[in-house]
Amino acid sequence: MPPVPLPESARKHMLRTMMLIRVVENQVQTLFSENVIQGTTHLANGQEAVAVAMAAHVNPRRGDTVTCTYRGHSHALALGMQLRPFFAEMMGRTGGCSKGKGGSMHLTDLSIGLIGTFAVVGAGLPISVGAALTAQIKRNGSVHLAIFGDGSVNIGAWHESLNLAAVWKLPVIFLCENNLYGEYTPYLRTSPVAHVADRAAAYGLPAIIVDGQDAEALHAALRQASEHAQNGSGPTLIEAKTYRYSGHSRTDPAAYRPAGELEQWLARDPIQILADRMIADRQIDAQEIARLQAEVEAEVNSAIQWALAQPFPNTETLYEDIWAS
Amino acid sequence: MTVLAYRDAVRRALDEEMARDENVIFFGEDVARAGGVFKVTPGLFEKYGEDRVRDTPISETAIIGSAIGAAITGLRPVIEIMFADFAAVAYDQIVNQAAKMRYMSGGQISVPLTIRMAHGAGMSFGAQHSQSCEGWFMSVPGLKVAVPGTPADALGLLKTAIRDPNPVVFLEHKALYADRADVPDGEHLVPFGKAALCRSGQHVTIVAIQRMVQMALKAADLLAQEGIECEVIDLRTLSPLDVETVQLSLRKTARLITVEESPLAGGWGGLVISRIMDEAIWLLDAPVVRVTMGEGIIPFSPPLERALIPDEQRIIAAVRQLGIKR
């Protein structure tokens, strides 16, 4: 699907958000190396365009929801998660979006429609299908997004979800970030078909393959899928061809990548692609980009300082939030 | 009072709650048009329509996962897993997602979900359609586990489960579906975490659930002929667990037997006993006895199956082990 030019304001918002995500992910990596953030984390550098194009189609006030994967910082931030609760959660401190009980792999914020970040591969898909079931029964016109990686497409939950959503014609969009690797193994070594989108035919679903580095192409694909869902035609499978610049998780140097592959993808950086287009259309210049960069860096640094000042949760909260009453 | 079969009590609970709250929906394999393989839910599809009562593909992961998604976004789904054994296919959705989503979100999310499943042995269905699966779920914080043993409890506990804002695993014993007994007329709710005293006696406390309560009552009848009086307790829910009622009984009997239709390892009897050891060991005058199916796997052959599953004779043998002097 080709890009469709968006208004200047929408372009600028997407550009700024992608820059913000990039700065955040780089800072997360640094905070990890300093042991300020513990556990594990999965960075989305290189995949920012998918997140910002997706978020442009989510309206929480209408009841739209999103489930994403443990490589989900980009989605949370694009949807509008505030930086302070984001960083406090990453550090396991009070003030975190989930009071420090979720962490990097379980970011949740109902106010922005993010009903869950799933760290068991494929587990979020049936839950998005259920959110879409609510939409169908309540007839509220909402649209629901299930975001997953190419590594999810061989697990049962994936197939069961596409099938059920197709049978019931539910307003859900299955958005695949195909970053070429399921953990350490290339997609083509685990799939007999070249494209994730090829599998849609098995469920009678429309599929769209889209350049995952081009925010405007993604935006157009998502618009088509969103309209398809809203007019009662059911789900669409979108396959965004993208790439993660870093390894699977913090301990993975990605030594399995062929020489030159990373460089090829770096030459198609999603931030650069949109910035170049805006420069060509005289909507932004290098000076303004530098100003935006300084602005988001200051915002991120301020949020990190705030989060660092938050205490760790009191152990009295240990058994809270298990049961609803 | 009305005499109702256990399966009809389940249906009445569903019917009443669907009539009361339009957010209650119900789906599963063959539950709508066919009324369920155990004929528990006929009529609901006709009464509430295909939006709220749905047949699904054979897809346990999608059934449970989509019910979680619907629960999070404002509905109160009740779903049926045809045989509890099949929950293993979708274990992730139950124990990693439904049970933990509230906690992982710092209390933002509620999962008001009822997962109905038929479990239990006694019908020669073999190893994968006969297990008592309560142990798979009661070890998971974030799940409630209900195990009704009578039509009245099936009605009252299911209504409570559907109104609960948390995920509830609701295990119906398939060998009890045809059992008929009195059920109160009008609104009947049974609270979770409240065991039932089924028979009073001063010599020994027998704690059981579902079909094993019936076995315990049979054993108690036989033992009464020789003057041994058993107190029989039906736990009714395993999470929350009512240890207090067991303690009260032990103040009188000082002897404890648990009867489980499940393996020795990981069973609720072990939890009841450990709680008694921790909280009230001084109440006991004798070693405790667990009657279980040991390390067995449920066989097909009817005589073999009968030999594995505890019955009144094995309970009587357990009581004799205690050497009660009348």
Chain B interface includes A322 (CB < 8 A): yes
Hey, is B205 helix, strand or coil?
strand
Is residue B267 within 8 Å of residue B290, measured between CB atoms?
yes
> Chain B residue with minimal CA distance to A133?
B70
Span B252-261, pLDDT tens digits: 999 999 999 9
Cβ–Cβ below 8 Å for A133 and B69: yes
User: Tell me, what DSSP letter sits at residue A123?
Assistant: T
Instruction: Based on the fold, state whether residues B46 and B168 are members of the same structural domain.
Output: yes
For residue B130, what is the domain's CATH number? 3.40.50.970
Closest CA to A224 of A213, A211, A237: A237
Q: What is the pLDDT of residue B108?
A: 98
Residue A29 has pLDDT above 80, yes or no: yes
Instruction: Based on the fold, state whether residues B175 and B251 are members of the same structural domain.
Output: no
Instruction: Based on the fold, state whether residues B149 and B272 are members of the same structural domain.
Output: no
* pLDDT mean over B152-164: 98
CA distance B122 to B82: 16
Please state the domain count of chain B: 2
Q: Please, which residues have CB within 8 angstroms of residue A277's CB and are 6 or more apart in sequence?
A: A3, A5, A11, A216
* pLDDT mean over A267-288: 98
CA distance B239 to B140: 9
* pLDDT mean over A88-104: 97
Amino acid symbol at A178: N
The verdict on residue B50 lying in a domain is yes
Closest in A129, A134, A136 to B62, CB measured: A129
Could you tell me which residues of chain B have a Cβ less than 8 Å from any Cβ in chain A? 25, 51-52, 54, 56-57, 59, 61-62, 64-75, 77, 89, 92-93, 96-97, 101-112, 141-142, 165-166
Hey, is B240 helix, strand or coil?
coil
Which position has the higher pLDDT, B323 or A236? A236
Instruction: Based on the fold, state whether residues B176 and B253 are members of the same structural domain.
Output: no
Best mutation target, A70, A101, A107, A133, to test chain B (most B CBs within 10 A) = A133
Which stretches within chain A are classed as H helix? Answer: 8-33, 48-55, 73-79, 83-90, 124-138, 156-167, 215-230, 261-266, 270-280, 286-308
CA distance B30 to B55: 5
Instruction: Based on the fold, state whether residues B136 and B271 are members of the same structural domain.
Output: no
pLDDT band at B309 (very low <50, low <70, confident <90, very high): very high
Which stretches within B76-150 are classed as H helix? Answer: 91, 101-104, 134-138
Instruction: Please give the C-alpha separations between residue A204 and each of A131, A215, A234, A307, B238, in angstroms, as whole numbers.
Output: 21, 27, 10, 47, 44
Instruction: Based on the fold, state whether residues B231 and B314 are members of the same structural domain.
Output: yes
Within 8 A of B91 by CB-CB distance, chain A residues are: none
Q: What is the ipTM of this complex?
A: 0.97
Give the H/E segment covering residue A211.
Answer: strand A207-211
Is residue B76 within 8 Å of residue B25, measured between CB atoms?
yes
Cβ–Cβ below 8 Å for A157 and B62: yes
Q: Please, which residues have CB within 8 angstroms of residue A312's CB and are 6 or more apart in sequence?
A: A92, A93, A94, A100
Within 8 A of A118 by CB-CB distance, chain B residues are: 97
Closest in A138, A167, A321 to B107, CB measured: A321
Q: How many CA atoms lie within 13 A of A251 on its CB side?
A: 3
Residues in chain A: 325
In chain A, positions 165-184, which contact chain B (CB-CB < 8 Å)?
Answer: 167-168
Hey, is A42 helix, strand or coil?
coil
Closest in B61, B104, B165 to A102, CB measured: B104
Q: What is the pLDDT of residue A210?
A: 98
Domain final position from B122, B157, B183: B183
CA distance B269 to B253: 18
The verdict on residue B281 lying in a domain is yes
CA distance B99 to B308: 32
Chain B interface includes A128 (CB < 8 A): yes
Is residue A247 within 8 Å of residue A182, measured between CB atoms?
no
Instruction: Based on the fold, state whether residues B85 and B50 are members of the same structural domain.
Output: yes
pLDDT band at A168 (very low <50, low <70, confident <90, very high): very high
Closest in A98, A110, A128 to B69, CB measured: A128
The verdict on residue B189 lying in a domain is no
Amino acid symbol at B182: D
User: Tell me, what DSSP letter sits at residue A183?
Assistant: T
CA distance B269 to B254: 17
Closest in A110, A128, A133 to B108, CB measured: A110
User: Tell me, what DSSP letter sits at residue A323?
Assistant: S
Q: What is the pLDDT of residue A250?
A: 78
Chain B interface includes A152 (CB < 8 A): no
Domain final position from B157, B183, B209: B183
How far is the alpha carbon of A122 from chain B, nearest alpha carbon, in Å?
Answer: 10
Instruction: Based on the fold, state whether residues B44 and B172 are members of the same structural domain.
Output: yes
Residue B326 has pLDDT above 80, yes or no: no
Closest in B56, B66, B101 to A116, CB measured: B101
pLDDT band at A198 (very low <50, low <70, confident <90, very high): very high
Chain B interface includes A310 (CB < 8 A): no
Cβ–Cβ below 8 Å for B106 and A130: no
User: Tell me, what DSSP letter sits at residue A111?
Assistant: G
The verdict on residue B25 lying in a domain is yes
The verdict on residue B146 lying in a domain is yes
pLDDT band at B240 (very low <50, low <70, confident <90, very high): very high
Sheet with A65-69: list strands edge to edge.
A114-118, A65-69, A144-149, A172-178, A236-241, A207-211
> Chain B residue with minimal CA distance to A139?
B51
Instruction: Based on the fold, state whether residues B156 and B276 are members of the same structural domain.
Output: no
Give the count of beta carbons closer than 10 Å to the beta carbon of residue B47: 11
Domain final position from B150, B183, B216: B183
The verdict on residue B70 lying in a domain is yes
CA distance B77 to A130: 10
Chain B interface includes A28 (CB < 8 A): no
Span B282-308, pLDDT tens digits: 999 999 999 999 999 999 999 999 999
Spell out the domains of chain A, with CATH numbers in brackets.
8-305 (3.40.50.970)
Active site residues of B: 60, 129
Within 8 A of A163 by CB-CB distance, chain B residues are: 57, 59, 62
Phi and psi (nearest 5°) for B256? -130, 130
Is residue B279 within 8 Å of residue B248, measured between CB atoms?
no
* pLDDT mean over B40-69: 98
Residue A112 has pLDDT above 90, yes or no: yes
Chain B interface includes A68 (CB < 8 A): no
Instruction: Please give the C-alpha separations between residue A110 and each of A117, A140, A322, B122, in angstroms, as whole numbers.
Output: 12, 17, 17, 46
Instruction: Based on the fold, state whether residues B121 and B145 are members of the same structural domain.
Output: yes
Within 8 A of B92 by CB-CB distance, chain A residues are: 120, 123, 157
For residue B293, what is the domain's CATH number? 3.40.50.920
Mean pLDDT of chain A: 97
Q: What is the pLDDT of residue B323?
A: 85
How far is the alpha carbon of A52 from chain B, nearest alpha carbon, in Å?
Answer: 23
Q: What is the pLDDT of residue A295?
A: 98
Q: What is the pLDDT of residue A251?
A: 82
Residues in chain B: 326
* pLDDT mean over B229-248: 98
Instruction: Based on the fold, state whether residues B110 and B230 are members of the same structural domain.
Output: no
pLDDT band at B324 (very low <50, low <70, confident <90, very high): confident
The verdict on residue B326 lying in a domain is no
The verdict on residue B270 lying in a domain is yes
Span A293-310, pLDDT tens digits: 999 999 999 999 999 999
CA distance B16 to B14: 6
Within 8 A of B93 by CB-CB distance, chain A residues are: 123, 126, 157
pLDDT band at A48 (very low <50, low <70, confident <90, very high): very high
Structural domain that includes position B256: 196-321
Instruction: Based on the fold, state whether residues B206 and B309 are members of the same structural domain.
Output: yes
Within 8 A of A167 by CB-CB distance, chain B residues are: 57
Q: Is B75 exposed, middle or buried (0-12, 13-18, 19+ CB in 10 A)?
A: buried
Tokens of A105: 């792999």
Cβ–Cβ below 8 Å for A118 and B97: yes
Q: What is the pLDDT of residue A92?
A: 98
Q: Is the dihedral of CA B270, B166, B27, B57 positive or negative?
A: negative
How far is the alpha carbon of B274 from chain A, nearest alpha carbon, in Å?
Answer: 21
Residue B325 has pLDDT above 90, yes or no: no
